[in-house]
Amino acid sequence: MSFLIAKQPIFDKEGRIVAYEVYLRKKGNTLEYPKEVPYNRSAYIIVEILAEHGIDRVGEGKRVMLNVSVDALLNKAFENLPMEKLIFELLKPQIQVGGVTIAQTLKSMSRFEEAGALFASYYELLEDERYQQFVEESFFVSVDFPRLNDRRIEQLKAKGKKIIVTKIETKEQYEEALKVGDLFEGNYLESPYILKEFEIAPYLKTTLLRLISMVYSAQSTKEIAEFISYDVGLTAKLLRFVNSAYFSPIQEIKSVEQACSMLGLKNLRNFIFLLAMNDYISVENPKLWKRSLVRALLAKSIAERIAPDFEDAAYLAGLFSLIDEILGVDKISFLRDLHMDKLIIDAYTGENERLKQILDIASQLEEMYSEILKSEDVFNAPLLLKIEELTGIYRFDLFRMLKDAHEKADYIFNL
Percent of the chain at pLDDT > 90 equals: 43
- Strand 2-12 and strand 17-26: the pairing is antiparallel
What are 294-322's pLDDT values in tens digits? Answer: 999 999 999 999 999 998 889 889 988 98
Q: Does pTM top 0.85 for this prediction? A: no
Instruction: Say what the pLDDT of residue 139 is.
Output: 96
Instruction: Work out the average pLDDT over 184-207.
Output: 77
What is the Cα–Cα distance from 270 to 314, expressed in whole angstroms?
Answer: 12
For the chain, give the percent of residues with pLDDT over 70: 84
What is d(CA 379, CA 329) in angstroms, rounded to the nearest whole number? 38
Determine if residue 160 is left, alpha or beta; phi over 0 gives left, psi from -120 to 50 gives alpha, anything else beta.
left
Look at residue 246 in the predicted model and tell me its pLDDT.
Answer: 61
Assess whether pLDDT exceeds 70 at residue 380: yes
pLDDT at position 63 is 96
Residues 70 and 102: their CA atoms lie apart, in Å, by: 8
Kindly tell me if the per-residue pLDDT of 233 is higher than 70: no
* 3-state SS class at 29: strand
User: Predicted confidence band at 414 (pLDDT cuts at 50, 70, 90)?
Assistant: low
Taken in order 290, 296, 297, 302, is the CA torsion positive or negative?
positive
| Contact of 181 with 165, CB cutoff 8 Å | yes
Beta bridge partners of 64: 20, 86
**Mean pLDDT computed over every residue of the chain:** 84
Number of CB atoms found within 10 A of residue 219's CB: 8
Q: What is the pLDDT of residue 142?
A: 95
pLDDT reading at 245 higher than 70: no
With H, G, I as helix, E, B as strand and everything else as coil, classify residue 384: helix
- Residue-wise pLDDT for 329-378, tens only, equals 788 987 887 677 899 899 999 999 999 999 999 999 999 999 999 988 99
3-state secondary structure string across 66-132: EEEEHHHHHCHHHHHCCHHHEEEEEECCCCCCCHHHHHHHHHHHHHHHHCCCEEEEEHHHHHCHHHH
Residue 204 scores a pLDDT above 60? no
Q: Where are the alpha helices (DSSP H) in 186-284?
A: 200-217, 221-228, 232-242, 256-284
Contact 396, 379 (CB under 8 A): yes
Question: For residue 144, what pLDDT band results from cuts at 50, 70 and 90?
Answer: very high
Residues 6+ apart with CB under 8 A from 313: 303, 341, 343, 344, 347, 355
pLDDT in tens, 154-169: 888 888 999 999 999 9
Residues contacting 105, CB < 8 A, separation 6+: 70, 71, 73, 74, 97, 134
CA atoms within 13 A on the CB side of 321: 30
